[in-house]
Structure 1
Amino acid sequence: MKFLHAADLHLDRSFEGLIAVPEHFQEQLAAANQKMLRNIVDTAIAEAVDFILLAGDTFHQNRPTLKTQRYFFQEMARLDEASIPVFMNFGNHDFYQADRYWFAFPDNIQRFNTEQVETKTFRTGAGEKVGITSFSYQHPTIEAAMVEKFPHKQAVDFQIGMYHGGQMPYAPFQLTQLVSKGYDYWALGHIHVPQVLSQQPYIIYPGTPQGHTQKETNLTGVTLVESQGNQLIPKSISVEAVRWEKRTLSLAAVRHPREIFSLVRKLTVNLPTLLHLELSDTENLGEELAYQLASGELLEALQEEVAQEICLWQLTLSEQPTERPYLAVDKELVDQLIMTYQAPPIFNELLSELDQNPQLHHLMDHEFRADAVALLEQKMRQSYQFRRAADVD
């Protein structure tokens, strides 16, 4: 048996945090989601998988644009022609409402449409019986621990749990709860950073296959899972169409600013790349480099030098200031900021991404918040010089 596990495609999502993008690269961004989906389908066909799992948030919103719906169903039809079924649930972003879909789902798509846990059975070409258990969101959140409603492994050769969520208010679970069900594989969705929570059995977040923000780097793509005896063995396959990357460029050998241009021309990439270039060893170039960088002119000039497959979206210096920066504010401002951070809603919002990790969620209690705020106050007082009373006019 062989199957493909993908999650969090977010097909309608745009690329975030970009200001000035060259016109030729805008075309790459506009086509990225569609190309990523095509790469997934091409991979499934080339690997001759028995089925595909789409573990939630296939779309970025619960009303996908008609353009997105059209190319999604066109790609699903390609899988239908290859006799590859798709088991699909809906997550917190694309929570299911039937009237939002203007095109008919192809017959090869087996949907989990409701917030009721159900099991669909499937027999592979080799005769293996597979049970796939899941549910879908019909609302933006599910506060119930849906894992409690999953049955234990049934009379099948392989039992797979497909689960979108992990922490409140998105269908929270504990890792031990998943393991206790006796399943052979858990296909998770919701967390965009690839994570293997367990190897016995494999419990995997494949992460988003296409990064849409600067934080979504080092992606592993989709997970190809193949049976070896009674074991299911995963491996990752990259399918991204555009990559976010941070790279450091040493200027140690540079004696004149114009030499930077020749260095940048040598930068190479394997696919269209949104590049954050960090300049290091800049001591030989003095204040002029810092000035041109701060003005934005250097970024604009270097963009003209890089290869067509590179969008130089950010340019920074790697060195940190040796002296504490001076803030023209009173120390009392720190106290006011700390009081703000102590408010649970604000604190939780600041750490929302960290809180998404189900292995860390239960650790982020009142004691953790108090320790974190105390450390923040200490770091702020150590890191900055503050205005003295005598400095005030």
Structure 2
Amino acid sequence: MKFLHAADLHLDRSFEGLTSVPEHFQTQLAAANQKMLENIVDAALAEAVDFILLAGDTFHQNRPTLKTQRYFFQEMARLAEAKIPVFMNFGNHDFYQADRYWFAFPENIQLFDTEQVETKAFTTNAGERIAITSFSYQHPTIDTAMIEQFPRKGAVDFQIGMYHGGQMPYAPFHLTELAAKGYDYWALGHIHVPQVLSQNPYVIYPGTPQGHTQKETNLAGVTLVESEGNHLIPKPISVETVRWEKQTLSLATIRQPREIFPFVRRLMVDRPTLLHLEFSDTENLGEELAYQINSGELLEALQEEVSQDICLWQLTLADLPMERPYLAVDKELVDQLIMTYQTPEIFDELLSDLDQNPQLHHLMDQEFRADTVTLLKEKMLQSYRFRRDADVD
């Protein structure tokens, strides 16, 4: 038996944090999500998998654009021609509402479309009996521990749990609860960073296969899972079409600013890349380099020098000055900011990435929140010079 486990495709999502993109690269970004989906289907066909699991947030919103719906169903039709079924649930971003879909789901797609746990049976061409158990979101959140509704493993060769979520308010669970069900594999979705939470059985977040922000780097792609006897062995397959990357470039051998241009020309990438370029060892170039970086002119000029497959979206210096920067405000503003950060909604939003991690979520209690706010205030007071401090310097 062989299958693909994918999650968090976020097909309608744009690339965030970009202020200026060359025209030729805009075309690459516009096609990136569609090409990523094509890569997933190509991998499924090349590996001749028995089925595919889409573990939630296939779409970035619960009303996918008609363009996105069209190319999604076109790709699913390719799988239908190869007689590869797709088991699909919906997550907190693309929570299911039937009237939002203008195209019919092909017969090869088996939908979990309610907030009730159900099991779908499937037999591979080799005669292996498979059971896939899951549920979907019909609302942006699910406070219920849905794992409680999952039955124990039935009389099948392999039972797979497909579960989108992990912590409040997204269908919380504990690893011990998953293990108690006796399943052979847990196909998780919701966390964008690839994680293997357990190896016996395998409990895997494959992560988002295509990064849409600068935080989404070092991606695993999708997970190819193959049986060896009674065991299931996972292997990541990269399918991203545009990569976020940071490179640090030493300028220790550079003596004149003009030498930077041919130096940067040698930058190489293996696919379209959104590049954050950081310069280190810049002592030979003085303040002029920092000025041109801060003005934005150097980034614009270097964009003309690099490969067509590179979009320079950020240019920074690694060698930052040690003197505390001056803020033309009074220290009292810090207290006002701290009060803002203590607002539960704002605190939760700021630390949402950490809160998504099931290994960290239980640590983020009220004591943690209080300690974090206290440390934040201390750090701000240590890191900056304020108006009254500057007056006495």
**TM-score calculated relative to the size of structure 1:** 0.98
Conserved? CA contact 2:326–2:390, under 8 Å:
no
Per the TM alignment, residue 333 of structure 1 is displaced from its structure 2 partner at its CA by 2.0
Per the TM alignment, residue 282 of structure 1 is displaced from its structure 2 partner at its CA by 0.6
What is the distance in 2 between the residues matched to 1:333 and 1:14? Answer: 35
Tell me the residue number matched to 1:241. 241
Q: Secondary structure at the match of 2:257?
A: coil
Tell me the residue number matched to 2:195. 195
When residues 264 and 21 of structure 1 are mapped into structure 2, their CA distance, relative to the original with a 3 A threshold, is same
Per the TM alignment, residue 209 of structure 1 is displaced from its structure 2 partner at its CA by 0.4
The CA deviation string for residues 259-307 of structure 1, in whole angstroms up to 9 with x for no partner, is 1111111001111000000011111001111111111000000000000
Letter in 2 for 1:214: Q
Tell me the residue number matched to 1:123. 123
Consecutive unaligned residues of structure 1, counting only runs of 5 or more, are none
What is the distance in 2 between the residues matched to 1:10 and 1:343? Answer: 29
Kindly tell me the number of residue pairs found equivalent between the two proteins: 392
Letter in 1 for 2:311: C
Per the TM alignment, residue 45 of structure 1 is displaced from its structure 2 partner at its CA by 0.4
Tell me the residue number matched to 1:73. 73
Letter in 2 for 1:46: A
Alignment of 1:276-355 (within 5 A): 276-355=276-355
Conserved? CA contact 2:32–2:241, under 8 Å:
yes
What is the distance in 2 between the residues matched to 1:88 and 1:260? Answer: 50
Alignment of 1:1-393 (within 5 A): 1-388=1-388, 391=391
The CA deviation string for residues 197-231 of structure 1, in whole angstroms up to 9 with x for no partner, is 11111101100101111111111100000111111
Letter in 1 for 2:69: Q
The CA deviation string for residues 151-174 of structure 1, in whole angstroms up to 9 with x for no partner, is 111111111000011111111111
What is the distance in 2 between the residues matched to 1:266 and 1:11? Answer: 33
When residues 385 and 307 of structure 1 are mapped into structure 2, their CA distance, relative to the original with a 3 A threshold, is same
Q: Secondary structure at the match of 1:340?
A: helix
When residues 390 and 126 of structure 1 are mapped into structure 2, their CA distance, relative to the original with a 3 A threshold, is closer
Q: Secondary structure at the match of 1:388?
A: helix
**TM-score calculated relative to the size of structure 2:** 0.98
Letter in 1 for 2:314: Q
The CA deviation string for residues 126-184 of structure 1, in whole angstroms up to 9 with x for no partner, is 11111100001111111111111111111111110000111111111112111111111
Letter in 2 for 1:299: L
Conserved? CA contact 2:220–2:237, under 8 Å:
yes
Bigger drift between 45-54 and 322-331 goes to: 322-331
Q: Secondary structure at the match of 2:312?
A: strand
What is the distance in 2 between the residues matched to 1:306 and 1:83? Answer: 44
What is the distance in 1 between the residues matched to 2:273 and 2:390? Answer: 51
What is the distance in 2 between the residues matched to 1:346 and 1:313? Answer: 28
What is the distance in 2 between the residues matched to 1:372 and 1:200? Answer: 35
Per the TM alignment, residue 389 of structure 1 is displaced from its structure 2 partner at its CA by 7.2
What is the distance in 1 between the residues matched to 2:389 and 2:10? Answer: 52
The CA deviation string for residues 351-373 of structure 1, in whole angstroms up to 9 with x for no partner, is 01111112211110011111111
What is the distance in 1 between the residues matched to 2:208 and 2:136? Answer: 18
What is the distance in 2 between the residues matched to 1:316 and 1:180? Answer: 50
